[in-house]
A and B are shown apart, each in its own frame.
Chain A
């Protein structure tokens, strides 16, 4: 019964609007290193990231926009062996602020 999968990507963004964030403008805590072709692990993040932060560009590279990041760390674990991303927690006080958790 797959009648529920309507525009899931848009829906994630809508969901993120419910959350509170304090964005550390200009200091993203996750960076994708420059590459020509992403590994399978990095590419997997375009569906695996629960906040939909990863997208693939038309020329095939994977980008991250970490403003809506939920700080779960999945991308860090999945791409650890390929070393394609640089991952740190946001500076103290910044990032997602769960109201309920």
Chain B
């Protein structure tokens, strides 16, 4: 690999959704962009459920549906509260989601990211794969002016470095641009890919054509830890996984693998996966700290996007759309400064944060700023007591056994009150409402 003599307009570290959104947007606007990815191909290190939210990508590549590798468009959302033998479900299915431009798709990240990366190259960016950025290069004033990698001897220079290095982004953490991750603000998720013939998936989930279903689950499946499980239908496979806050995991002897096995063997999940062939086992961290965990996002010569900036809305299970949006908005900020021939100073790049504050990204994260802490502090109730009580109530209500309904109602309320005091329940309800507002 030769040396790069002239500084690039921008270097993007990482080729996930945020990095690709940033590199694509800048290259398309004519900037001289270098993108550096440590994997053999874009996506080879990336893991997600995965749901693609069309809106965020449409704002970058409007015609993406014609060529992107998409699995199924989501027409049904199932939210399950589970105890060990049951689930109480809230399902929403609508034919309105069978629209010309569907709103959500399931995707396989390795394939999707590879496609997105090909668009970045088409737009004119230079992309180096199999190259790990090892550190930032600064001038005497401390301004970031380039990066060092494990392949090039001399540093590669740029006017600005866009850090799209993911949740466990070592470059930014080791350079002191942001704090190291805390075990109580990140979740560890494990996931498997289970293959089945498409007809089987369609029959099992009541689907036709490219329709898809997603299941999000919480309850005793996480064994008292703060976390959720999921199951998504792809074209010829099912993504199934579960994740919990790392500090909760560290306090138990339950291995992530055991937790996933137990979830897969839950009587509500097992039949959905029957006879499937598992072809991959993956693990990844998810930033779950929300608004309060967002680090400093810009400084002299640098800007942070995607998971590296903790841009995940844990309540709504949104992340890739926040990644793409922050990548695009950061890129637009850099493009605008470059056009005006302005310096990439901390003050100038702060325009990125102003733009984000106006977008759904910051508005949503701000709205739920109290939720991560609330759930984590009361995990025993939210992920154990309440799911069990709900299941018992449902069973009492639906089981026909000669007991009159008034007695059944009384039994349900008594069970709630004995398990969790009235004040405790009201307090939790109040705290949820307050955190939700």
Contact = CB atoms under 8 A, between A and B. Distances in A.
Contacts of B109: 98, 100-101
Contact of A100 (B85, B132, B181, B279): B279
A34 interface: no
Contact of A95 (B45, B150, B249, B262): B45
B323 interface: no
A56 interface: no
A2 B258 CA distance: 10
B56 interface: no
Interface in B74-114: 84-85, 108-111, 113
Given A47-B254, A52-B257, A78-B183, A15 B110 contact: no
Most buried by A among B149, B181, B258: B258
Contacts of A16: 281
Given A5-B258, A73-B285, A44 B167 contact: no
Contacts of A12: 255, 257, 281
A74 B40 contact: no
Nearest to B132: A92
A96 B45 contact: yes
B246 A74 contact: yes
Interface in A23-43: 41
Interface stretch (B24-32, B184-192, B295-303, B353-361): B184-192
Measured as residues with beta carbon below 8 angstroms from the partner, the interface class of chain A is 35 or more
Nearest to A98: B110
B264 to A, nearest CB: 8
B250 A41 contact: yes
Given A18-B278, A22-B40, A48-B256, A72 B284 contact: yes
Interface in B120-170: 129-132, 149-151, 167-168, 170
A78 to B, nearest CB: 6
A57 B47 CA distance: 32
B281 A18 contact: yes
Interface residues on B, range: 35 or more
B409 interface: no
Interface in B15-58: 38-40, 43-48, 50
Contacts of A9: 255
B182 to A, nearest CB: 8
A15 B279 contact: no
A17 to B, nearest CB: 9
A71 interface: yes
Nearest to B284: A72
B360 to A, nearest CB: 25
Interface string A1-17: 11111001101100110
A51 B281 CA distance: 9
Interface string A64-101: 00000011111011101000000011111101111111
B414 to A, nearest CB: 26
A101 B108 contact: yes
A71 B167 contact: no
Given A1-B85, A77-B181, A100-B109, A11 B40 contact: no
Q: Which of A51, A74, A89, A101 has the largest number of chain B CB atoms within 10 A?
A: A101
B285 A72 contact: yes
**5 shortest interchain CB distances as A-B pairs:** A93-B130, A73-B168, A101-B109, A50-B283, A15-B281
Interface of A: 1-5, 8-9, 11-12, 15-16, 18-19, 22, 41, 44, 47-48, 50-52, 70-74, 76-78, 80, 88-93, 95-101
